Amino acid sequence: MTLIMVINYLLLIICVLVGVAFVTLLERKILGYIQIRKGPNKVGFMGLMQPFADAVKLFTKEQTLPVMSNFLPYYLSPVFSLFVSLIVWLVMPYELGLMNFSMSTLFFLCCTSLGVYTTMSAGWASNSKYSLLGSLRAVAQTISYEVSLALILLSFIFLVGGFDLTLFSSYQRDVWLLWFTFPLSLIWFASCLAETNRTPFDFAEGESELVSGFNTEYSSGGFALIFMAEYASILFMSMLFALIFLGGNLISPFYYLKLVMVAFAFVWVRGTLPRFRYDKLMYLAWKSFLPVALNYLVFFMGVKAICFIYML
């Protein structure tokens, strides 16, 4: 049984990595059409081989190493970042064959918190003041929005009555939670954008204006691993959004259509919105999202308490 679970997980990871490759192609195509130009369309039919060409180019280029960098953390940070982004897929609540465990939401929160350390060590180990400042900025942003993310998740844990993600599917058989908690879904989506360092929260990775944030000194393979981790996180957050707010059975193909639509929304936001100023970004986290998330948490706790008293 354990061997079957390991094989299933490895197959899932292979599918996620292939999905990451084609999400980059999807993003470049969508941004191309938003900006009234063609995206990649030369390599293979309609540019379908472009992600593989990019992968070959990035992983065969020379790997540079800053002379004054701290060698081990500098090399291991991108690897660990991708590892965390892939290990979190263990919580994906399949009906059969994967490691369905009852504390999957806690495991998810632990894994997302670990992502902060990879960003911090990547910026610090480069021994560049630009990278260090970029990593501090990215860590501050990630921690700020993780608070709202955790509180929203806690609200739904109170609502469904458990930490297992499979409960969300069974809870939404008749109606989606999106219709009842629409403001929370918007806050969750915005927090996911901040968590994955996406526009309009991409101060960690503003390429031209901010010298690419914490990954200034990374090139070729290290750079590719960091962005693979980011896109794997985008896919995972899309899966989680679809599961929590749009319900559905993971065996159904309609669930994956919802996942793709949420991933499309990530790209759509990038092509539409300008970047937030940093002070506005922090104001949004602590003065707007946090009070709403706290109020909803208290509301859900009250609803569950009333239901419990009524049952008695």
Task: Identify the pLDDT of residue 250.
Answer: 76
Task: Identify the pLDDT of residue 209.
Answer: 55
Residue 236 has pLDDT above 90, yes or no: yes
Answer positive or negative: Cα dihedral of 145, 148, 154, 160: negative
Q: Which has more pLDDT, 99 or 63?
A: 63
| Type of residue at 95 | E
Across the range 149-154, mean pLDDT stands at 91
Task: Identify the pLDDT of residue 208.
Answer: 47
Place of tokens 């981790």: 229
Q: How far apart are CA 14 and CA 19, in angstroms?
A: 8
Q: How far apart are CA 190 and CA 186, in angstroms?
A: 6
Answer positive or negative: Cα dihedral of 137, 140, 144, 150: positive
Q: How far apart are CA 135 and CA 123, in angstroms?
A: 5
CA 161 to chain CA centroid, Å, is 25
Residue 97 has pLDDT above 80, yes or no: no
DSSP state of 41: -
Residue 264 has pLDDT above 70, yes or no: yes
The confidence band for 172, taking pLDDT boundaries of 50, 70 and 90, is: confident
Contact 68, 131 (CB under 8 A): no
Residue 50 has pLDDT above 50, yes or no: yes
Across the range 99-105, mean pLDDT stands at 77
Residue 238 has pLDDT above 60, yes or no: yes
Mean pLDDT, all residues of the chain: 85
Instruction: Please state the pTM of the whole predicted model.
Output: 0.91
Residue 75 has pLDDT above 60, yes or no: yes
The count of residues in the chain is: 312
pLDDT digits (tens, 9 = 90+) for 126-136: 888 888 888 88
Residue 211 has pLDDT above 60, yes or no: no
Residues 6+ apart with CB under 8 A from 115: 81, 84, 85, 142, 229, 233
